[in-house]
Structure formats: C-alpha cells, structure tokens
Amino acid sequence: MRRLNGVGVGPGDPELITVKAVRLLRAADVVFVPVLARPGEEDAAEQGRAEATVRAHVDAARIRRVAFALNDPGGVTPGRAAAWDYAARVVAGAFAGRARTVAFATIGDPAVYSTFGYLAQTVARIAAGVAIETVPGITALQDLAARSGTVLAEGTESLVLLPLTAGAGPLAEALARHDTVVGYKLGSAAGPGIAAVLGMLGEAGRLGDAVFGARLGLPGEDIRPAAELSGRERVPYLSTLITVRARAGRGGRLGGMSGPG
C-alpha cells in the first residue's frame, strides 16, 4: 500500500513535535516540505517554516522542497490552484517512482487552517491507491498559551478560534459571545488590520486580558500583552492573538452541574 502522511511539525520550535511525527518522517521514502517559490524555483527559496523543523530531525538526503503558494490572498486564485496542482503532481510523481511512503510536513496541525487538505484532495484524485493519513501537531495557539502562561479554557468556558481574515464582524461576534477568543492570521493584509483589532478589543473591554505572539519558536519571537502593541506597527504573518475573559478565583468557571473537568 502506498501512503501519504500529512505530518504536523508544530509552530516553529523543533522540539514541539510528537514522537510519532518524528518516527514517520524518518521512515518515509521522501519528505516534502512546502516553500514559498514559483514551481521549479524551489532551490532558490528561503527555508520554509516546516522545513526548519524537519531538517532538525530528518536526514537531508530525503527532504524535497515543493513550491506551494502560501501567500496568495484572494481565495482560490488561478496562481494558487496551479500551485496546488503542481505540488500534487510532484508528490504523485514520487509515488510513480519508487516511493511507497511519502510524508508532507505542515506547520502546526494538518487539520487546522493547513494547506495539506488541498494537496491530499488532489493527490487522491490523480494517484490511485494512495492511503492518506495525518499526524496531529502542536498548534500555534497551544504554544502561545504555554509561553504566555495563559489557561485557554476552564470549566464551562467556551473557546473559539477564528482567522482574522474573516473580517471585523466575526471577531466582534466572537468577543461578545465567547470566553476565550483566539485570532489567527493577524498579520494578513486581508484582515481588518491591527489598529481595528486593538480598537475592537478595547471596546469589548478585553484588551487588558489579551496576549500577542509572533514567530513563536523562531528567530525574532515576540510575545507581549496586546495592550503594548501600537495600532501603527506591522506584525508578521505568523502572529496570533488570545484573549481570555477574566476569571474570579480558582475554579470560578466550573458550572454547578459540571462533571469532573
């Protein structure tokens, strides 16, 4: 059986990867890592985020870069669709060669806003008899919670994750309805912008309980209270925001009828 494993390699720190992920990466005939490049120009590209973690664990001879349009806002643009097709053909080509097991590394978890799903769908269409599996990875939101000493959810609290590229409306609704709100893609030009997000946190009375984390586990890591951000600064694409609702003492958010949690 031929197998394609989508492997979550964590948000950046090469130690934030599971034992299973390392085992499967090392056992794969080929390990693909996505890079930001035009097809055919992978070698000249900057090292990708998943690639850095993979290189810490896997023999370089089995690592292959593949172009993937990771930064192409605007939905399923022709460029993006072409890049997904290209990457799927490259992966299918590895199976057409001798590979029985192929791994594709993805930052964080492959089931959370990941490119792996698009690749897997296309590979399944063009390469017959390939079983597709994923290995969970540690997400950026978990890493930011750990590094900032934030408890994400207790007792009956709700926890919601949304991409800030969804716009101001969904963020306002989440801030009004949920206890803990996590925003991904804060640095994307497609979002409302840092000034608008800070303004909304302030209006909701939730700026003082918000933490910002950029480039977690990578050079230039930046973790600070969101209140210290200026509305004029530019934040990197790898930026995450968490705001929790203030808690009243130990176990204060346990419901009256709650179970052992």
Q: Tell me the C-alpha distance between 245 and 6, whole Å.
A: 35
- Stretch touching ligand SAM by CB under 6 A, among 29-37, 72-80, 211-219, 247-255: 211-219
Q: Which of residues 132-171 bind ligand SAM (CB under 6 A)?
A: 139-140
By CB under 6 A, residue 184 contacts ligand SAM: yes
DSSP, res 94:
H
- Stretch touching ligand SAM by CB under 6 A, among 35-43, 75-83, 104-112, 202-210: 104-112
Q: Tell me the C-alpha distance between 168 and 32, whole Å.
A: 36
Q: Which of 220, 250, 219 is nearest to 234 (CA)?
A: 220
Number of residues that bind ligand SAM (CB under 6 A): 22
Q: Which two tokens stand for residue 52?
A: 């850095």
Among 27, 112, 204, 254, interactor with ligand SAM by CB under 6 A: 112
Q: Which of 15, 26, 8, 18 is nearest to 106 (CA)?
A: 8
Nearest distance from C-beta of residue 256 to ligand SAM, angstroms: 34
By CB under 6 A, residue 218 contacts ligand SAM: yes
**Matching residue, tokens 């925001």:** 241
Residues of this chain that bind ligand SAM (CB under 6 A): 11-12, 107-109, 112-114, 139-140, 184-185, 213-218, 237-240
